[in-house]
Structure 1
Amino acid sequence: MNKEITLEQLASYETAFDSDRANRIAMDAATKNGVNNAAMRFENAREMRHTFNISLEQGDITNQKQSGRCWMFAALNTMRFRIIKKLGVKTFELSQNYALFFDKLEKSNYFLESILETLNEPTAGRLVTYLLSGPLGDGGQWDMFANLVEKYGVVSKEVMPETAASSSTREITGYLTEKLREFACTLRTAYQNGASMEELRAKKDDMMQTIYNMLCISLGKPPVKFDFEVKTPNGFVRDLGITPQSFFKKYVDMDLSRYISLINAPTSDKPYGKTYTVAFLGNVAEGRPVKYLNLPIEDLKAAAIAQMKDGLPVWFGCDVGKRSVRDGGVMDLNALDLETLFNTEFTMDKAQRLDYGQSLMTHAMVFQGVNLDDNGKPNRWRVENSWGKDAGVDGYYIMSDAWFDEYMYQVVVDKKYLTEEQRKALEQEPITLQPWDPMGSLASVR
């Protein structure tokens, strides 16, 4: 057989294509309307209804706009939920810009520390190449957000509102990335020329001043103290000169040390019942590391349902772009009939998709409800997104339970919802995964 595609083969392909009238219909539909629109199933709308027998009431939908801050928005949405319930107000938002400022600052420091840790690695080697590929993107993980809140607290959105750069992060992230790669070059060159670690850290301190200045210019200076004032059904709340850390403790009142990440990674290299971390994944140097407990998918569902039954939402991470429809906000394996459109089967299972780079966690959102059948089993999940009210149905998506099985990778719950056996497994020393492992992916879809 020839290695190249011959003209005779092309002619044969064309003849075979033209011999099936369904191909012509599919081509006309897809070229005019796009693949997903051409493959959309009419019946799916009646199957995926936005009704749930467990449904939590949240404030107005949020909008991350042109930024990859979904993980921040999702985490802050779980926290503002508590404030709304505590104060009895209709809606409330915490400052996503405040979290962004300190995430970029801490990621810059984390990156430079990683460069200092790998000075003896070759620049063209896989590890340093990986570190240089994305020094401080918008994406993140739950443990990374917990580190930010434990160190810096949170503030109301009106205290540090959005800026042009926070709503559309491409420009400032690009310039910060350019500086960090330049700084990495400076540090590694100085080391090669005999500079001591003390001298290199002095250089790093000057570099961080530059990063801080760039962030203040583009995002604004974060407050050290602020005045919190809000009108509630029970009167006017005025809290003057409160710190972000005190504000979190008083109004969010959430013990972050209790919240843990459960993942479902059914690959042969990650046995269930074990804990995992990822090398060089983090934002706050000396902060708590990313840590996962890998469990069967049904265990993730059980923990998420238990937390929502207690009236609290659930942060989660998934591969949002797979088999999902933005119009109507549907995530369902049957939403698109791609097999009929293309006359082929897509046969990889979840483990194979992870192993071969076809799927990983890309987006974080919040479960605000679930529908349980007569046997207490979930069949659809209510999802609060952060793409504004025009995405989905008033900002909400609906996820089928079958979609959950295939494209859900992580939920964050209070560890009290784990079984005794799971809590014991959580105490294990985590197995360290390579930086490029799919479980090291960061939620960042905009």
Structure 2
Amino acid sequence: MKKKYSIVFIFLVLAVGTACDDYLDVKPDQSLVVPSTMEDIRLLLDNTTVLNKQPVLTLHGGDEYFVSDEGLPTLGLPEQGAYLWLDDLFQGDPAYDWSTPYQQVFYANVALDALEEIPYKDGVDYKTLRGEALFHRAHAYYHLLQEFAPPYQLGGENEQLLGIILKDSPDVNSKAERSTLEESYSRVLMDLTEAATLLPDFQLPKSRPTKAAALGMLARLKLCMFDYEGASDAAEEALEIYTERLDFNNIDVAANRPFVRFGEETVFYSELVTVTFIFSSEVFVDTTLIESYQPGDLRLQAYFDQVGENRYQERGRLTGNILSFGGLSTGELELMAAEGLAWIGEEEKAREYLNSLLSRRIKPESFIPVDAVGEDLVNEILLERKKELVGRGLRWTDLRRLNQYPEHSKKVERIVEGQLISLEPNSLNYVFPIPDEEIVLSGVKQNAR
């Protein structure tokens, strides 16, 4: 079995790992890459190097960080392109934010095809593996949608906009076509909904998805679709299943690594793709974000190091190391529940979720429960999203969706070599260009820039 799986693994790596931007044009021998047993499929879906990674360039494009003039040239070309909102974002370099999710789609589809050949489909193992494969495919599609397709439109007409390339099987000979935005979101919704019915409540390690993780991703998706009742329902159900909570009052926030990998705050573990931006000593946290933390807020010390006057750098991450966490946490679930409830007028319940979270983030002597109502309550929750979820790649998606409300829209500005540059709300540059290699190989339509 080990020898057989090593062959399967090698061909999967060759099929996707070496393909990079032209993944969708790869034509491996399918008879060599399809696992044939449950053990094969389990090993395939436990490949964390592939399946527990996610795109990173949303960090560069948002408003959480700024880069010094000295540091900008040290970043990779796609990193510079994302930070400067260039039309030619990738500048000829590999587009890992595109290829990484499509590697995951390929792995998931290989697993799903193999599961169809398994004779016994009523067992727990079969259901769990199918749920995991559907989750990973949906997780990949979700991240592709946040970069390579326009934001879901509050005003409708999503059937008229282009989404992403959806792949139903590992057959690389199938024609690559862009689905509509509505079809793309519907596919993610369908995969996550089924995954939530199949996955167990708990699994270890936390790199394996669970029912709570599937519900958490549903909540993320429904926030993007402005389905606030659906988002709060999914987040609340996830919180009922996953009951662990991390109180920052009970950890050493001054420690070099205040969090541990797979800690109690983590519902599902995923890391952002590793790039220079994450490690650079010339990348700093936005000053206005730092100033938004009130006295006694333990996150300021747990998350950041002050390295100079008005200079803060990120330190504490839920990965437990220097890598950036992109997975699901209880804090995010509580904030999604609170936001969804606030939007639909369930304000008392929204405040309960928000205050429950803040009581575990702020020193007891400094904690004052939020009593805001109406628009003020929504604004409080949105501010706490910025403060709680910094550095996870979520802010870009928040900007895209909130820009559709005039009262929440924001122009992102930065000064580069003395020049002010800006990203206007609802700019076309909120949609990344599809890599040129993909356009040439598949002929799909490019995004407008």
TM over 0.5: no
Specify the structure having the higher radius of gyration (Cα): 1
- TM-score of the superposed pair, with normalisation by structure 1: 0.25
Greater relative contact order (Cα < 8 A, sep 6+): 1
Higher strand share: 1
- TM-score of the superposed pair, with normalisation by structure 2: 0.25
